[in-house]
């Protein structure tokens, strides 16, 4: 089983069943559901937090908003075949998407909600990737042992008129996901 990549052992910790890594494509258009479906996985999300508040310094800078502007935040857990693979936080300009939190409660698809506001397409302006260690809370939410590495993606999306529409961070379980560029 070890030679076939089904299990792995770690001295002092035991033997662990390995899960097939989910290939997650990053590029000009990044869509969670579409990405997972194309990799043969069933996508799902669990809402952790949703609301509106004044944006912090980095959020208003990335979204090109005025200091003190309101933003919507959408935080959750992304899963592939009911296995948690990532924690995400998306920040949206509240003035552009007034009732976005209400819409996300009934339909967790950002793409579908954007369409409701006339944003028929959006693309990735920038993506930065870094390796970080999971906090205790993050490891628990992802059902991982501590310390474990995560791949952290920080990104900005723009609409088809080049206006910033989303600033986000995603922390992917390094042992459960790989990142690649579009083909």
| Higher-confidence position of 173 and 73 | 73
**Cα–Cα nearest to 91, from 75, 106, 80:** 75
Going by pLDDT thresholds of 50, 70 and 90, the confidence category of residue 6 is low
| Sole residue written with tokens 């819409």 | 103
Residue 17 predicted with pLDDT over 70: no
Burial-class residue 106 by CB neighbours within 10 Å (0-12, 13-18, 19+).
Answer: exposed
Q: What is the mean pLDDT of residues 65-69?
A: 96
pTM above 0.75, yes or no: yes
| Sole residue written with tokens 């990142």 | 179
Question: How far, in Å, CA of 132 to CA of 146, rounded?
Answer: 12
Going by pLDDT thresholds of 50, 70 and 90, the confidence category of residue 136 is very high
Residue 32 predicted with pLDDT over 90: no
Q: What is the mean pLDDT of residues 112-119?
A: 92
Task: Give me the pLDDT at residue 42, please.
Answer: 78
Residue 70 predicted with pLDDT over 60: yes
């Amino acid at each position: 089983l070890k030679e076939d990549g089904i299990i792995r052992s770690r001295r002092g910790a035991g033997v662990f069943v390995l899960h097939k890594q989910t290939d997650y494509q990053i590029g000009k258009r990044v869509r969670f559901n579409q990405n997972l479906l194309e990799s043969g996985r069933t996508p799902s999300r669990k809402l952790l937090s949703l609301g509106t508040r004044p944006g912090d310094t980095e959020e208003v800078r990335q979204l090109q908003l005025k200091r003190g502007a309101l933003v919507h935040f959408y935080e959750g857990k992304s899963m592939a075949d009911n296995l948690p693979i990532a924690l995400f936080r998306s920040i949206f300009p509240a003035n552009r998407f007034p009732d976005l939190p209400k819409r996300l409660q009934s339909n967790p698809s950002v793409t579908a909600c954007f369409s409701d506001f006339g944003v028929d397409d959006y693309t990735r302006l920038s993506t930065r990737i870094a390796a970080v260690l999971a906090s205790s809370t993050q490891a628990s939410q992802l059902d991982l042992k501590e310390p474990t590495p995560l791949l952290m993606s920080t990104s900005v999306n723009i609409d088809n008129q080049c206006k910033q529409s989303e600033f986000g961070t995603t922390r992917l379980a390094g042992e459960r996901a790989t990142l690649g560029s579009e083909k």
